[in-house]
Structure 1
Amino acid sequence: MSLPLLSHDSAGEGPALLLLHSAVCDRRMWDPQWRMFLDAGFRVLCCDFRGHGDTPAPDGPYRDATDVCDLLDALGVAETAVVASSSGGAVALELAARRPERVTALVLLNTGSPAHPPSAVLRGIASRERALIEAGDVAGAVELGVHTWLGPEADANTRAVVRLMRRRALDMRPAAEDAGRTGAAAFRPEDVKAPTLAVSGAHDLHDFRQVAAGLPDLLPAAEHVELPWAGHLPNLERPAETALLVLDFVERHTAGARGR
């Protein structure tokens, strides 16, 4: 029995631009960029992965990249540029490797990678979060996430928004972040054909900075930039600046963008 489609939003006309959220957040993390991307002439799409936002946690196994591909099929989107944050970036890389004809460009913000095992530091953060949840301190687990994943540029409103999104995810799937998700697919970097911009934040954890810096050596057409002001979620920390960075890259690699 097939799973229901991911909850999603779609608006605008022109080349498709798909936004994939981080595990800390849900599709609301792209609200600050939504209008800017529409005004740039794109058909903007975003979705909630299973167990986030408006997409319930599943009862059975699933793959995020397969879910995204199914959503694109249902929306009649043959190809799209993809902007992805953190673990959403790992999904984007898997999608681009499995279906290279569907991905025209990638912008990866502090991305994870199917090929990168988590460090002891990252495993320790996950362990502390699980311990707080098991002790019944979900609010403490939320605050750990807010403290870990936002850099110094994040204001009080941004922290409040991330707090709401993280609480929503933990309330939906408190037992295990990856419950039901099937194991990592074979990932061959050479299968990713899309031009790729890997963005890291100087205030982020070493894992994500290492992944981003290493992608130009792994992918056929990748470049890397580090933002000296950014933590893990630059599109929430400096929304307009990050949107302009995304648009500059995507428009250079997406023919026929409207409104420019």
Structure 2
Amino acid sequence: MGSVFHREITVGYEDEGSGEPLMLVHGHPFNRSMWRPQTEHFSRAGWRVIVPDLRGYGDSTVLPGATPLATFARDLVDLLDHLGIERCVLGGLSMGGQIVMECYRLFPERFRGLVLADTFASAETEDGRAGRYAMAERLLREGMAGYAREVLAKMVSPHTIASRPDVAAHVLGMMTTTPPDGAAAALRGRAERPDYTELLSRIAVPALVVVGAEDAYTPVGDALDIHERIPDSRLRIIDQAAHMPNLEQPDVFNTALEEFLGSLPGTAATTTPQD
């Protein structure tokens, strides 16, 4: 666990294990703890796992206003520079997946593989843009608690709520403790994001596309579209999971990610955890 000051913000992050670097980017409105099952598993399996808190979330600085996806992307590359990492595998979920796409758009030479989980590539619709701006105002006015309770049953599947109440509580806790100013800034920035659809066909590194079978926010069809457009990609649909398959079905998610990482050219990491 550490933090680094660069430009106008301090970024909280974890840097666990050793070997080939794997950076994982959380979604909205979460923090780096959403990757705990992956941090624990892959840091023991021969990977150096870096999980940052995005600006406005977790232990990182909160700046009001609007945070474009390009700003998040530059923050992540600044952190890689600080850590002396030239190239890594980069993964993200939901908004984090869109930040991964923005990172590849701006800095394609820095990444040797991409993981796109429960995300979508198209630009916002007019209705979607208006909805994000309205939600930003609501969160600033009311705080996070009411929104978090409303969306919990879409973030995780009914199966998860019934069988893994600890996971549901973790997801709810991340949402309710996110600073409203940070969440609102990200919503405004995300409303104006570019369309990544054409970028997908130009991705020249291997990619893993993952989605929960019950995801209502970014349905399986969105993942299929991404998978079909990226030349070298594999698709994994995870049953009994909604928008958070890495937490809802961590063993299945980790197996899919482990197989993908092991397939990358030049990977020196082992695929069995070390004692």
TM-score (norm 1): 0.86
CA contact (8 A) 2:120 2:226 kept: no
Residue of structure 1 equivalent to 2:175: 166
Partner of 1:22: 27
For 2:240, give the aligned amino acid.
W
Q: Is the alpha carbon distance of 1:157 and 1:207 closer, same or farther for their aligned partners in structure 2, counting shifts above 3 Å?
A: closer
Partner of 2:112: 104
Query: Aligned partner of 2:106: which letter?
Result: R
Q: What CA distance in whole angstroms lies between the structure 2 residues aligned with 1:237 and 1:183?
A: 30
Partner residue, 1:78:
86
Distance 1:215 1:137, change over 3 A: closer
1:257 is aligned to 2:269: yes
Question: 1:174: Cα distance to partner?
Answer: 6.2
Correspondence 1:117 to 2:156: no
Matches within 5 A, 1:35-54: 35-54=40-59
Counterparts of residues 222-241 of structure 1 (less than 5 Å):
222-241=233-252
CA contact (8 A) 1:26 1:49 kept: yes
Question: Which moves more between the two structures, 131-140 or 82-91?
Answer: 131-140
1:49 offset after TM fit, Å? 0.7
Q: Which has the higher contact order (CA 8 A, sep 6+)?
A: 1
Gaps of 5+ in 2: 1-5
What is the total number of aligned residue pairs between the two structures?
258
Alignment-mate amino acid for residue 153 of structure 1: H
| 1:148 match | 154
1:203 aligns with 2:209: no
Q: Which residue of 2 aligns with 1:178?
A: 187
Asked whether the 8 Å contact 2:140–2:181 carries over to 1, the reply is no
For each residue in 1:211-260, what CA deviation from the matched residue of structure 2 results, as whole angstroms up to 9, or x when unmatched? Answer: 21111332221222322322000011011221111111112115111464
CA distance in 2 between partners of 1:227 and 1:48 (Å): 25
How many Å apart are 1:17 and its aligned residue? Answer: 0.6
CA distance in 2, matches of 1:175, 1:35: 30
Q: 1:7 to 1:191 in 2, by over 3 A?
A: farther
Question: Residue 168 of structure 1: CA displacement?
Answer: 1.6
Cα offset, 1:207, TM superposition: 3.8
1:66 paired residue number: 74
Amino acid at match of 1:16: P
Instruction: Please give the alpha-carbon distance, in whole angstroms, between the structure 1 residues aligned to 2:102 and 2:139.
Output: 30
The change in CA–CA distance for 1:185 and 1:77 in structure 2 (over 3 A counts) is farther
Asked whether the 8 Å contact 2:87–2:112 carries over to 1, the reply is yes
CA distance in 2, matches of 1:110, 1:145: 16
Amino acid at match of 1:256: A
Asked if the contact 1:9/1:46 (under 8 Å) is kept, the reply is yes
Structure 1 counterpart of 2:3: none
